[in-house]
Amino acid sequence: MKRFTVFAASFMHETHSFSPVKADLEDFQASDYHLGDDIPKAYSGTRHEFGAILDVAREYGWTLIHPIVANTMPSGTVTLRAFEHVSTVMTDALKTSGAVDGVILALHGAMATEHVDDAEAELVRRVRAIVGPDVPIAVTLDIHANAGPDLARQANIVSTYRTTPHIDIYETADRAARLLQRAMVGEIRPTLVYSQKPMFYGLDMGRTITGRGPMVSALEKASTLMAAHEPILDISINAGFDWSDKKNIGSSVLVTHDGVPSLAQTIADDLMDFAWATRAEKTVRLLSVDEAVEVAITPSSDGRPLLIGDYTDCPGGGAAGDGTNLLRALLSAPVRDVAYGSIADPTAVEIAIAAGVGSVVQLELGGKIDPKFGGGPVALTGTVKAISDGNVVRRGPYYTGTTIAYGPSCLVQVGEIKIIVATNRVQIDDREQFRIFGIQPETTNVLVCKAVNHFRADFEKIGRQLIYVESGGIMSTNFAQFPFKNVRRPIWPLDDL
């Protein structure tokens, strides 16, 4: 068997266009950023996309060229400087590598930059310009991708996560890599078709964990169709990310096929018709802050924790992660044994670390990044219970084995509430994020998480109940308040269709 040379890289960002916190180069470098030989060291044996790419490369004996992995927490737009730096590292490496037989790129699909609307399509376009028309290009996408038709024209293979929370990241990259292998040996000649409707906030934001809802039904339909039609190689259903001011925001379907464009287009269009018909269906209801506090003060009947997702201030969707409306309400309520993760406030961290463990500190906590969303600073006096470098290795089913970093961080206790205060904006997605501060999540009465979806994979199994809160953060589903300029119009739910 021929030993193929494969180019692999990753550049990922989920862009909330209305967040004031931009993603600059330093944000990527301080997060998930690795170059060259550091990439196998960082991802071998993990559930990351590159964990799968490395495994498939070993299995097939690929010569793998892997110049860069760059990923950071969702935020506002990616700067011109950051995008051009990462894309140039990729394309320079590709230009100097000599001929390659295939390309696999782990992307997100909802990146927007200061100068490019469809960043992923632009990235693949630049790669295609170097490798030429005949080299197969495989792309993996997050289920919340805002994919556009240009991506379908530039790539040969697209494979999207099929779960939210995203516990099939490894399987998605494995699937794409194996299709790439089949294309390189000449077994298949994959191409793509694309479909979209004038809508966003569809397919229940891609949720699958409950086993019900529009995305679950759409994926079941896709699985049946793939089983019935061998030339249909992959059906990628993207729910979209609803806060990206991009022309092709919203749900889409990309079908990878082997020589059956009419069939593939019919399948893509039928699945989009289903997404349109079910666009208003949801499996999650957001409570007000007052409603959430009422639930929190209700005694537990079984000793398991109440899980509260601070939905609209989740950094995993681009929010500031320093909103205080929910925290302020809990501090005023007769709650018992609460762990709150987390408030992003580097100034408060510096004060607490300087004071030391056991010290009493006075803080103006949180609410500094964009106080009109989520509330301004809350004045409190608390005791520093723990200090940490903030490095967490995930042990749960989401991105298993990878590291997430709070940065220098501390635990401050005010009455019955233990508050994780972090330097970095970090969503909660793994129980280890509490354990590094000595908190045992399984036996804590109330766990408050700046989180939307991914924490459910590791936390929901231990909780007595899960509720979500509308705390005034920028991940609000009141889309009319945001000044969309670039989306195609008319579009639901902004327009009456």
| Residue pLDDT, tens place only, 230-240 | 999 999 999 99
Determine the length of the chain.
497
pLDDT at position 471, please? 97
Report which of 50, 45, 57, 19 is spatially closest to residue 32, judged by C-alpha positions.
50
Let me know if 134 is exposed, middle or buried by CB neighbors in 10 A (0-12, 13-18, 19+).
Answer: exposed
Tell which residue, 10, 124, 26, has the closest CA to residue 68.
10
In the chain, the N- to C-terminal Cα span, in Å, equals 55
CA–CA distances in Å: residue 300 to residues 286, 332, 334? 21, 20, 14
pLDDT exceeding 70 applies to what percent of the chain? 100
| pLDDT confidence bin for 374, thresholds 50/70/90 | very high
Residue 307 confidence (pLDDT) = 98
- Bridge partners (DSSP) listed for residue 134: none
467 has pLDDT over 90: yes
pLDDT at 222 over 80: yes
| CA–CA distance, 218 with 325 (Å, rounded to integer) | 36
- For the cut 90, the answer to whether the pLDDT of residue 395 exceeds it is yes
In this prediction, residues 312-337 reach a mean pLDDT of 97
The model's confidence at residue 304, banded by pLDDT at 50, 70 and 90, is very high
> Which whole-number Å values give the CA distances from 160 to 30, 276, 285, 286, in the listed order?
26, 19, 26, 27
Domains of the chain: 5-277 (3.40.50.2300), 286-477 (no CATH)
Kindly indicate the confidence band of residue 364, based on its pLDDT and cuts at 50, 70 and 90: very high
pLDDT at 497: 86
438 has pLDDT over 90: yes
What letters, b where the CB count within 10 A reaches 16 and e where it falls short, cover 80-101? eebbebbbebbbebbeeeeebb
The pLDDT assigned to 159 comes to 98
In the predicted structure, residue 354 carries a pLDDT above the cut 90: yes
- pLDDT, residue 301, reads 86
Contact 305, 463 (CB under 8 A): yes
Is the pLDDT at 157 greater than 90? The verdict is: yes
Local structure of residue 436 (DSSP, 8 states)? T
Neighbours of 183 (CB within 10 A): 23
Phi, psi (5° rounding) for residue 325? -60, -45
Query: Residue range 335-356: average pLDDT?
Result: 98
Measured N-to-C along each axis, helices 80-96 and 119-131 cross at an angle, to the nearest 10 degrees, of 20
CB-based contact 243:482 (threshold 8 Å): yes
Look at strands 465-469 and 286-287 and give their pairing. parallel
What pLDDT shows up at residue 2?
83
Q: Over range 417-425, report the average pLDDT.
A: 97
| Amino acid 243: pLDDT | 97
Distance in angstroms (rounded) separating the CA atoms of residues 366 and 377: 5
Whether the pLDDT of residue 162 is over 80: the answer is yes
Reply yes or no on whether the pLDDT at 200 is more than 90. Answer: yes
- Strand 417-422 to strand 409-414: parallel, antiparallel, or no bridges (unpaired)? antiparallel
Q: What are phi and psi of 362, to 5 degrees?
A: -110, 125
Give the residue-averaged pLDDT of 326-349. Answer: 98
pLDDT at 1 over 80: no
Phi, psi of 371 (to 5 degrees): -60, -20
Read off the pLDDT of each residue in 201-223 and give the average, rounded to a whole number: 96
CB under 8 Å to 204, separation ≥6 — which residues?
213, 214, 215, 239, 278, 281, 282, 283, 284
pLDDT band, residue 470 (cuts 50/70/90): very high
Structural contact between residues 392 and 403, judged by C-beta atoms closer than 8 angstroms? yes
What pairing do the DSSP bridges indicate for beta strands 391-393 and 338-344?
unpaired
Q: What number is the average pLDDT over the span 430-455?
A: 98
Q: Per-residue b/e over 344-358, b at no fewer than 16 CB within 10 Å?
A: bbbebbebbbebeee
